[in-house]
Chains A and B, each alone.
Chain A
Amino acid sequence: MRNRIRVNVVSALTLILFVIVFVVPFLLVLVNAVKDRQESSQLNLALPTSFHLVENLREVFQARNYMLVTAMVNSTILTVASVTGMVIVAAMVGFVLQRRASRINGFVNAAVLMGLIVPPAVVPTIWVLQSLGLFKTLPGLILVEITFGISFCVLLFRAFMATVPRELDEAAIIDGCGPLRLFFQVILPLLKPTVVTVIVVQSVAVFNDFVHPLYFLPGEENATVQLTLYNFMSQYSTQWNLLFMNILLITIPPLIVFLFFNRQIVAGMTSGAVKG
């Protein structure tokens, strides 16, 4: 009995603390996103006296010649293309790496590790992109994003491949499957849970990426949503309502992903620790 009361008290206190620490900041964004310029400049949590949701939305979208719309299109293309590329390319590596003992496996493993630890060399990458004619282009950035995402994806796929019984491959081969059909029609469908995890985790990462677009895709017509927010920061340094509206808009996609794929995200991000 006493124990239960104690649990209740601790729970209530924790909840209050969590709300203050983790909810209030978002509340601040939400409340101020619908205020007018004057009220939002107070930067407080007071409820708005009048709602300017539609107005602020319109203004954010229209700013700088509909830059946010361009940015959303760019970010969507970037995210979809990069993640698709990562999944296919990395699954192929993870598959062979786990299944076939080969002399270059050690090399591949080392490369994967390097990809995780080594900070990318920025200007030389620009130099490479420029000599390929890919600097400041969306395809160029997509290839870079895929490259920097491969390592993590390979690890996840390799780990999951280990749980797919080898007998399955053998059966498929006896049935006359070539390597392409074996991989794309037999194995890849089985990897679906990992594919979902990879898609979810990497979509969020690519969508939220700021550094790579900043370096490799400069220029207004190329803006991504994160760059747009960053640019708005200096442009709207006193129009907090619009700035907050912008934050609100770009927080919605991760929020949706979080609501629907909470389990996969957490699984994807912690799978290493469990096996520890």
Chain B
Amino acid sequence: MAFSRRSLLMGAGSAVPVIAITGCGGSGGGGGGTVTFLVDNNPNNIAASESLIAAFNESQTDYEFTMETRPGGTEGDNLVKTRLSTQDMPDAFSYNSGSLFQAIRPVQNLLDLSDQPWVDRLAESFPDSVSVDGKVYGVPHGGSNSGGVWYHKPTYEELGLEVPLTWDDFIANAEAAKSAGKHGVIQSYGETYTSQFLVLADFHNVATANPDFAEQYTANEVGFADDPTAFRSFEHVEQITKEGLVNEDYVSTTLEQALAYLATGEGAHYPFFASGISEIEANHPDQLEDVGFFALPGDDAATNGLTVWLPNGIYIPGTAENPEAAKAFLAFVASAEGLAAMAEGAQPTGPYMLTDVPLPDDVPTAIRELQTYFDTEGATTPALEFVSPVKGPNLENILIELGTGSIDAKTAAQRYDQDVEKQAQQLGLEGW
């Protein structure tokens, strides 16, 4: 029994084009004029987009691009949906790839870009995240990000350790570091979201063990409590805290403190995003080469690989007033010059999604080394949130309950499975 207000919205929608025409007076006509690019207000995105737009405007004389910013998070999701449905979307906009992209009704709302020349150059893990029925709708907005484990290289050298390919090796390394008087694994519950990496970055291992996990998960056929590999992620959190491998003040440690432990070698490992590199660079510029990054290991060394957070896509709405300008802009975004311009505004946090554009030379070694994973067939997997819309809001806090010993791994996994139910129901997914 679902009631919809869509009909109401449609009624209101008929008035919108009139307003749009009067609102944009001079800028609509002709080939030239101003074109707007909408990005979310993350400071790095703004910096990168500013220098991207400046470079694009300089590279040609036909179009003048300007930037408009929007909020991120749920508020941003709603704004994007509203502007699309009221046909008020600027000619180019940046928005999440993956399951959030699927939720903005690409087929109805967006321009099909499958015929664009850059499509063939996309890295293997990207196109699916901006495609429906084999049609591509977006270009990758900058470099990727990854989830995994930061480690302190001098500690590894000192103790004669090697980058672990299995979870047991990882624990052995952490124990060795602990015996040497360091924090085996740094945790930072003072910044709640950082508690999730042992689970979220483990998805490559979950997906290699069960390639259909995402699909079954979306259909409510499998959960974290009953898939053995997925459940292992929860056990990992329990294991490191129970065995005392973590820093003593982990409940109140903040992200910045955690990265300080890592950079100065007080701690050996820190599970986090590869994008943590920008904080390390800002606060510990002299230790930049002391840190390295590896994929969160699973049970099998042979299938070792990286969980990747794909960049946003840049899309063109079907209602674009100047689609040719927008297409030229997207082509520039996919070019080496475009990516170089973005890198000037904010350094990339991982390899690009275009096979023929390498990372710039001034990117720290830890990030450049990630390319190896991308160059190995099957060694990268997009994070779960890109392949399934089901994600509960409380994972971070449930893991903190687990990590502080309030509940055990089984209970935590069950609670998270219960938590996602709300999200799935809110989205109206089938099977929930």
Contact = CB atoms under 8 A, between A and B. Distances in A.
A contacts B directly (C-beta below 8 A): yes
Interface of A: 218-220, 237-238
14 contacts: A218-B71, A218-B75, A219-B71, A219-B75, A220-B41, A220-B71, A237-B190, A237-B191, A237-B254, A237-B255, A237-B256, A238-B254, A238-B256, A238-B257
A159 B41 CA distance: 50
Contacts of A238: 254, 256-257
A97 B75 CA distance: 43
A38 to B, nearest CB: 13
The interface residues of chain B, by DSSP majority, are classed as: loop
Q: Which 7 A-B pairs have the closest CB atoms?
A: A238-B256, A237-B254, A237-B256, A218-B75, A219-B71, A220-B41, A238-B254
Contacts of A220: 41, 71
Contacts of A237: 190-191, 254-256
Nearest to B41: A220
Interface in B227-278: 254-257
Interface of B: 41, 71, 75, 190-191, 254-257
Contacts of B41: 220
Nearest to A64: B43
The interface residues of chain A, by DSSP majority, are classed as: loop
Contacts of B256: 237-238
B254 to A, nearest CB: 5
Contacts of A219: 71, 75
Contacts of B190: 237
A241 B75 CA distance: 31
A237 B41 CA distance: 20
A219 B191 CA distance: 22
B119 to A, nearest CB: 36
Contacts of A218: 71, 75
A237 B279 CA distance: 13
A144 B254 CA distance: 36
B74 to A, nearest CB: 10
A234 B360 CA distance: 31
A219 B255 CA distance: 24
Contacts of B255: 237
A237 B255 CA distance: 9
Contacts of B254: 237-238
A41 to B, nearest CB: 10
Nearest to A237: B254
A258 B243 CA distance: 53
Given A218-B71, A237-B256, 12 more contacts: A218-B75, A219-B71, A219-B75, A220-B41, A220-B71, A237-B190, A237-B191, A237-B254, A237-B255, A238-B254, A238-B256, A238-B257
B44 to A, nearest CB: 14
Nearest to A235: B43
A43 to B, nearest CB: 13
B138 to A, nearest CB: 26
B220 to A, nearest CB: 27
A73 to B, nearest CB: 20
A128 B71 CA distance: 22
Nearest to B70: A219
A220 B255 CA distance: 23
Nearest to A219: B71
B67 to A, nearest CB: 15
